[in-house]
Amino acid sequence: MKAERFCVLFVLCCINFAYQVDALKAGEGVCTVKSSVRKTKIRIVTQTKNTLCGKKKCVVKIPKRVTYLATVLRTVCCNGWEYLSDKDLCIPQCSTGCLGGRCTAPNVCVCDPPMYLDPEHRNNCIKPTCDPPCVNAECTFNNTCNCLKNFTSFNATHCLHCESGYSIDTTFKCKPQCTKGCENGTCTAPDVCTCLPGFSKQEVNQDCKPVCEKCVNASCTGPNVCSCWEGYNQINDTHCSPKCDDCDGICVGPNICECSVGYKKINDSCTPICNETCQNAVCTAPNVCSCFDGYLKKKDKTHCKTYLATVLRTVCCNGWEYLSDKDLCIPQCSTGFNIGGRCTAPIDVVCNFTSFNATHCLHCEAGYSIDTTFKCKPQCTKGCENGTCTEPDVCTCLPGFSKQEVNQDWAHVPHAPHNQFAR
């Protein structure tokens, strides 16, 4: 009995099931096929022996190897698929290849963006071209740019990204922005203005203003550049003075004229002031009296006294009349002496003074003579070398000359006054 039990266990352990499936796992591209294979198995057979077991011959069961055909299910790669042993899976096959792409199914070539399938050669992936090239973007199709993440399209080829407080300039760079502007400076950070050389930042509004060492009556319009205010003229690089259309004093502001010290304004003119009243004279400068014609200044400098033979008067002779608009003398004729409607000369004209010419009668005091300008000129009988004859026989030395000890009695006589016509 023990021998029979052992034989049965041996047979059961050695039996192979006819419908065994191979190890390839089911999945994409995996197919299951049936096939017949020749196999062997152990079969228990009964055999009679010549020995007697009791009254009968002994019968024993013994294993016997027999051959048979079995149907087997196998997993194989389907048509158009290829087995990849290192990964134990099936991959699709493209018979003509898949250049630059991925074969995702039998004879199906897929390109990874931005590459795309060549319309003429369906097994070839080509890369799109963009001209000009894309900036911060991918060329996803010919001359088509798609911005990268977090970038914004600026134009057909450029995608840019600027942080808050920045904007894109013409060179496609992020430029800081100053919301209040940045005149005379450079915006170096958002709302941060850095002044240019020659400019400084104001404390109040943070504007950059030009710096000048000094500007008088002018505004600093550039580094060390002064521009005069309206109504002022440029004197030099830093100073401007007020201008007045007509000022005989000091121009203290545009068309504002003030008199100098020692002057006062009378009828819009600056008139000199003399503390003491000028006698026979006029105040020509502060505390300066200038004598009238025919007068000499006394020692007190404010009073003038008369002197003789210094005034030459030119008057129209008897029979002649002064014509003011032409400043000349014209003859007067009695009735009946007009020749051709014009009086050419007076009749019985008698000149009370010395006759100088046909129209002028002149008179000079003793010691004076008439010069070519119709003035009475003092005469020095002995001459006046290196000096000027200022009075009859009175010689005043020129600068750089001194008077001889002889004849020291000299007096200063001013120039003779201008001639005057008298009617």
pLDDT tens per residue across span 81-101 = 999 888 889 999 999 999 999
pLDDT in tens, 262-282: 898 888 888 899 988 888 888
Q: Is the dihedral of CA 168, 173, 176, 181 positive or negative?
A: negative
How far is 317 from 348, CA to CA, in rounded Å? 11
Going by their DSSP bridges, the two strands 313-316 and 420-422 should be labelled as: parallel
The DSSP H or E segment spanning 13 is helix 2-14
pLDDT in tens, 148-179: 998 888 888 888 888 889 988 888 788 999 98
Q: Is the pTM of this model over 0.75?
A: no
CB contact at 8 A, 260 and 248: no
Portion of the chain with pLDDT greater than 70, in percent = 80
Burial letters for 342-353: b for 16+ Cβ neighbours within 10 Å, e otherwise?
Answer: ebeebeeeebee
- At 7 the pLDDT is 36
Is residue 310's pLDDT more than 70? no
Is residue 289's pLDDT more than 90? no
pLDDT in tens, 143-152: 999 999 988 8
What's the chain's average pLDDT?
79
Q: Mean pLDDT lowest for which of 163-172, 279-288, 407-416? A: 407-416
How far is 113 from 11, CA to CA, in rounded Å? 62
Which of 376, 404, 374 lies closest to 391 in space, CA to CA? 376
How far is 93 from 109, CA to CA, in rounded Å? 9
pLDDT band at 417 (very low <50, low <70, confident <90, very high): very low
193-197, Cβ contacts within 8 angstroms, sequence gap of 24 or more:
197/223
Which of 394, 397, 413, 378 lies closest to 297 in space, CA to CA? 413
Q: Is the dihedral of CA 214, 218, 219, 225 positive or negative?
A: negative
CB contact at 8 A, 109 and 120: no
Which of 314, 341, 342 lies closest to 329 in space, CA to CA? 314
pLDDT in tens, 347-373: 654 555 665 555 555 677 888 888 777
Q: Is the dihedral of CA 282, 288, 294, 300 positive or negative?
A: positive
Is residue 60's pLDDT more than 80? yes
Q: Compute φ and ψ for 6, nearest 5 degrees.
A: -65, -40
